[in-house]
Amino acid sequence: MISVAVCDDEPQVAEYLKNAVGDYFARADLDGRVTVFSDGEPLAQAYASGEADFDIILLDITMKNCDGLTAAKRIREKDADVMIVFVTASAEYVFRGYEVRDIPITLWAAEEDDQDNDTNPSKDANTNKDGKDKDNKKRKGV
């Protein structure tokens, strides 16, 4: 079973990520579970106590109590192998993930003219409205 943690303090984004991962599991016929955290502190505490063992963590960088970078550093003390993917709408934080380790970064940017926010609260900054990247190629994703 593949175990994924989603950690984001914005409920709409957390729900979107949870559903996207769940949909991927279903399409790929994979056995998996998704656990949602609304702040980095409970996620880091779960690792500190030995209760958490995720394969992948989708982690927001900017959160109110315990930000994603602090949580990631604490998680790395207990698990050097977990794949951490930072998810942020703040371009200023994109390269800070490398302070923790070689960690992929996904930058989300809100669409000003996107009226249909129930399916995707934000879009990848490198993708246009047709789902094509800047080179006009269809992007793959979850």
Tell whether pTM > 0.75. Answer: no
DSSP of 69-137, one letter per residue? HHHHHHHHHH-SS-EEEEEES-GGGGGGGGGTSS--EEEEE--TT---TTT-S-EETTB-TTSBBTTS-
Residue 42 has pLDDT above 60, yes or no: yes
How would you class 140 by CB atoms within 10 Å of its CB: exposed for 0-12, middle for 13-18, buried for 19 or more?
A: exposed
Residue 85 has pLDDT above 50, yes or no: yes
pLDDT digits 0-9 by tens, 95-114: 555 555 545 555 554 444 44
pLDDT at site 26: 96
Mean pLDDT on 108-136: 44
**Max intra-chain CA distance, the chain:** 47
Q: At what angle do helices 68-78 and 40-48 cross, to 10 degrees?
A: 10
pLDDT at site 88: 77
